[in-house]
Amino acid sequence: MKSDELREKSVEELQVQLKELYKDQFNNRMQKSTGQLGQTHLVGEARKDISRVKTIITEKEKSEG
């Protein structure tokens, strides 16, 4: 996920994206712990994507107010 793509979205869209990323992160962690996740790098990618989205939400909120 590119930060340029995220900056084009509104704060509400980013909030929805964040919830989806939290769900993905949870599912990936559960699959990894049970040995079902073949692509273990997805756990780290989800964490980084969550951080990226949260950073952009903060930037947008500060620029509005």
Q: Which element (helix H / strand E) includes 11?
A: helix 11-33
Beta-carbon contacts of residue 11 (< 8 Å; ≥ 6 apart): 57, 60, 61
Q: Which element (helix H / strand E) includes 46?
A: helix 41-64
Quote the pLDDT of residue 5: 93
Question: Tell me: the pLDDT tens digits for 13-64?
Answer: 999 999 999 999 999 999 999 999 999 999 999 999 999 999 999 999 999 8
